[in-house]
Structure 1
Amino acid sequence: MGLGGSWDTEPYGAQEIAQAEAVVEAALECGITTFDHADIYRHGKAEAVFGEVLARTPGLRERIVVQTKCGIRLADGDRPGIYDLRGRTVRRRVEESLTRLRTDVIDVLLLHRPDPLADPDDLAEALTALHRQGLVRRFGVSNMGAAQIAQLQARLDVPLVANQLEMSLHRRDWLEAGVLVNTPAAAANGFPFGTVEFCRDNGVRLQAWGALAQGRYTGLQETAEEEATAQLVAAMAKAKGTTPETILLWWLRRHPARIAPVVGSARPERIRACRDAVQQDPELSHEEWYELWLTARGEPLP
């Protein structure tokens, strides 16, 4: 999301292309080979500068997985932002992404947000056609619950392979939904209970956006819980000879759902700080994992 310059329609230039090249290089050095996009990021410029990198780097496209998303229409003047998963819209947005990314196929297409007006039969027909024509290899969703995934999957012959949700040591509603059952706090949680379990049972890989908690535990803390958690994360990182970023990602990866964290930074040094989380299995004990959770939670479990 951080590539391409400003959040407007002003053109990008050499500086933005150089930034994209540095980000890709840092990711590849760490062993990261999947790159997550969306058609709306920087009004399409994020995809476009990445396409420039692909065009300038022979052989790169064959070494990586390109994932992008569609389904959000940004606000424009007096027109508010909306969601749009009509079949014809999805096809048009895929074609536009292919052009910007300078590739002939999208490896994984995610539906960015659920559209209440989407006809699941129309949507499934469009996705099936994109797959048969070789324009998209695999499909997934983002920010959807179990029932929404099941409704679409029932109309598709190809499996939905991913669900991208906000998940981090700070954003824990996905985790706490499963332990607040039969408690007064359950109603206030809001996360659709059973979604994590559904994804695990049906081969839908959970991807965690916001995995580094927007820097709350590695930068500026705003609450006592955040300060205590940042101190604990730093202490664990020092004891294990790694970085605080790695501890945060290990905490997600330690969960048996095999969560795939999305490193949402456009800073090469921050990407490199995640190297151990890519190259090593999580080195967190059962007790250490719970200590991080309870410290961030700021109160005992029910």
Structure 2
Amino acid sequence: MRTIQLGKSDLQVPVIAVGCMRINGLDQHEVEKFIHTAMENGANFFDHADIYGGGTCEEIFSNAIQMNASVREKMILQSKCGIVPGRMFDFSKEHILESVDAILKRLKTEYLDVLLLHRPDALMEPEEIAEAFDLLEKEGKVRNFGVSNQNPMQIQLLQKTLKQPIIANQLQLSITNANMISQGLHVNMLDDAATNRDGSVLDFCRLNSITIQPWSPFQYGFFEGVFLGNEKFPELNAKIDEIANKYGVSNTTIAMAWILRHPANMQPVTGTMNTERLLDCIKATEIKLTREEWYQIYLSAGNILP
């Protein structure tokens, strides 16, 4: 699979990241098959979080593949911390350190390739985070650091204190949830699409060599469902199907290829636990949509050009 450099790190990673949020919905045999299928096809970057399945997703993952040093060296592991479900967000030094220790224990590994801070903490103290990151790096528990769902000012505030570069930012993006793209097309326009909801985070990340990792690449709204094959999006699906037929691939492949066509060199995170659909996502790395096709899909989702 085609690879990209992850931010300013030394990591060369596949352009498709395998999300493991729903892995607890599979039995052990299915998990093993899913992971091996991914790796056999070059998708060896696995995205976790300590809240996925209350931590069970990380345990299921490591148990299914019988994690050991030989297996570990063949994959890239990323996890996230900072959410205390239903209670608060917590970027305190104590919470970060305890979370990483628990993640490593569940994944049965001595280190994470990447740790992301999950959701912005209103009580974030950058100096405290810096102390946690320094200790984790010194002890060899985490090699690279990033964030998730943060805007440019939050990242700058954090980076001011950190010694390590922030190499990734996980953000929601799909054809139907494309405000980070559309607001850049409607500069100085008096319409809703011109609303800048994220501080121009797309351009900021490109300028600062921070890799965007789009999550929920097939979802509309906030986990309201997938747009593929959905009767709520007839024009979009008709256009995707038309282009899919042209290339002889699935609609999943074209929807993923739409994200990959953007020059920001993003690394979308899949959410499927279906091996065939995962292979369809991987297939997208072999297709480069034309400029016209990209815009046709964009417009068919109800997006407009000024």
TM-score, normalization by structure 2: 0.87
Q: Which runs of 5+ in 2 are unaligned?
A: 1-20
Whole-Å separation in 2 of the counterparts to 1:270 and 1:286 = 25
**Percent of aligned positions that are identical:** 36
Equivalent residue for 2:24?
A: 4
Equivalent residue for 1:135?
A: 141
Answering whether residue 260 of structure 2 is matched by residue 253 of structure 1, we say: yes
Answering whether residue 295 of structure 2 is matched by residue 290 of structure 1, we say: yes
1:86-125 map, 5 Å: 86-125=92-131
Equivalent residue for 1:49?
A: 60
Whole-Å separation in 2 of the counterparts to 1:60 and 1:244 = 33
Equivalent residue for 1:218?
A: 228
CA drift of 1:184 comes to 2.3
Contact 2:23-2:60 within 8 A present in 1 as well:
yes
Equivalent residue for 2:11?
A: none
Equivalent residue for 2:90?
A: 84
CA drift of 1:147 comes to 0.8
Q: Give CA deviations for 1:21-58 in whole Å, capped at 9, x if unaligned.
A: 12212212332110000000011011111111342577
Contact 1:72-1:83 within 8 A present in 2 as well:
yes
Whole-Å separation in 2 of the counterparts to 1:271 and 1:135 = 29
Q: Give CA deviations for 1:222-263 in whole Å, capped at 9, x if unaligned.
A: x2xx11111111111111112211111111111111111111
SS at match of 1:274: helix
SS at match of 2:158: helix
Contact 1:112-1:143 within 8 A present in 2 as well:
yes
CA shift in 2, pair 1:58/1:219, >3 Å: farther
Contact 1:216-1:230 within 8 A present in 2 as well:
no
Whole-Å separation in 1 of the counterparts to 2:192 and 2:199 = 10
Q: Give CA deviations for 1:99-158 in whole Å, capped at 9, x if unaligned.
A: 000000011000000000111111111111111110000000000011111111111111
SS at match of 2:32: helix
Whole-Å separation in 2 of the counterparts to 1:267 and 1:36 = 16
Whole-Å separation in 2 of the counterparts to 1:231 and 1:60 = 42
Equivalent residue for 1:9?
A: none
CA RMSD of aligned residues (A): 1.8
CA shift in 2, pair 1:248/1:57, >3 Å: farther
Amino acid at match of 2:41: C
1:208-287 map, 5 Å: 208-213=214-219, 216-221=226-231, 223=232, 226-278=233-285, 280=286, 282-287=287-292
SS at match of 2:228: coil
More contact order relative to length (CA 8 Å, sep ≥ 6): 2
Amino acid at match of 1:283: K
Whole-Å separation in 1 of the counterparts to 2:69 and 2:148 = 31
CA shift in 2, pair 1:172/1:243, >3 Å: same
SS at match of 2:129: helix
Whole-Å separation in 2 of the counterparts to 1:142 and 1:275 = 23
Amino acid at match of 1:301: L
Whole-Å separation in 1 of the counterparts to 2:154 and 2:301 = 30
Whole-Å separation in 1 of the counterparts to 2:192 and 2:136 = 40
Equivalent residue for 1:158?
A: 164
Across the two proteins, how many residue pairs are aligned to each other? Answer: 282
Equivalent residue for 2:10?
A: none
Out of 207-216 and 117-126, give the one that drifted further: 207-216
CA drift of 1:269 comes to 1.8
Answering whether residue 74 of structure 2 is matched by residue 63 of structure 1, we say: yes
SS at match of 1:301: coil
Segments ≥4 residues shifted beyond 4 Å? none
Contact 1:217-1:227 within 8 A present in 2 as well:
no
Out of 254-263 and 210-219, give the one that drifted further: 210-219
TM-score, normalization by structure 1: 0.88
Whole-Å separation in 1 of the counterparts to 2:67 and 2:134 = 32
Contact 2:185-2:194 within 8 A present in 1 as well:
no
Amino acid at match of 2:275: P
Equivalent residue for 1:191?
A: 197
